[in-house]
Amino acid sequence: MHPELSFDLLGEMIHACHEIGVKAPLYISAGLDEKMARKHPEWLIRHKDESLSCFGVLSNNFMEPGYHEFCFNSPYLDYLLQQIEEILNNYPCDGLWLDIVGERRCYCQNCVQSLLAEGKDPRNEEDVIQLSKRTFANYVSRVKALVEKKSNRAHLFFIIVGISIGEGMICYRQVHMQRLNRCQLVDGAMKTIPLQQDIYIIKSSSSLA
């Protein structure tokens, strides 16, 4: 709760929405958290030269403005899941929008050690790409399992950039992708959302790959 408020603003907003029949999904910036980026730089995505991966800007360090992307093959994923669990325990939200996620090539020490433990070569680009795919699938799977355990009402939306799954909205069901033909992207935005489905992945029109 905001320190200058005497009541739970988010809880009241959700209650007000439900009073008039409006669904209230909550947004989480899953891939970006500048406070934690500076507290745990070892959780951040690294390029081959150890520079940082920054979202939407050219900066690759902490000395220039920028948003620094997290590696989901690090303890950051556990930290994010704790946030999601707190939300689901405290709010009757109708969905979670998890933004700034996707397959990311990463050379942080977590990823390097994962590859070495598998007998793979962190200098081999294909090995790195395959790890990025497994890392993203593990992230989706763990979030999905947590939400299914904690809520019977929350839809899941993963807003992604830089992943090779084609244009349009993709439905993730038990870590299986299926195109939803009735869904389209218009200039990077959603046109329709068939809420009878449970989990969606929405591909941005831009790319960070």
Phi/psi for 161 (5° steps) reads: -135, 140
Report angle CA 11, 17, 19 to the nearest 5 degrees: 100
In a domain, 183, yes or no: no
In a structure prediction context, what are the per-residue pLDDT tens digits for the chain, which is 209 residues long? 778 889 999 999 999 999 999 989 899 999 999 999 999 999 999 999 888 887 766 567 788 777 899 999 999 999 999 999 999 999 998 888 888 888 889 999 999 999 999 999 999 999 999 999 899 889 988 998 898 888 887 777 776 655 443 333 333 332 233 333 333 333 344 444 443 334 445 443 333 22
Residue 167 CA to residue 137 CA, distance in Å, equals: 19
- Quote the radius of gyration of the chain (alpha carbons, Å): 18
pTM: predicted TM-score of the whole model, two decimal places: 0.77
Residue 156 pairs in a beta bridge with: 96, 199
CATH number at residue 102: 3.20.20.70
Residue 184 forms part of a structural domain: no
Residue 42 lies in a domain: yes
- Residue 190 φ/ψ, nearest 5 degrees: -75, 140
Distance (Å, whole) CA 174 – CA 33: 28
> What total of structural domains would you count in the chain?
1
CA dihedral 183→169→187→31, nearest 10 degrees, is 150
Q: What is the residue range of 144's domain? A: 9-168+194-203
The reply to whether 89 falls in a domain is yes
What dihedral do alpha carbons 127, 123, 164, 36 form, nearest 10°? 100
Q: Is residue 121 part of a domain?
A: yes
Residue 3 maps to a domain = no
Is residue 92 in a domain? yes
Whether residue 173 is contained in a domain is answered as no
Helix (H) or strand (E) holding 158: strand 155-160
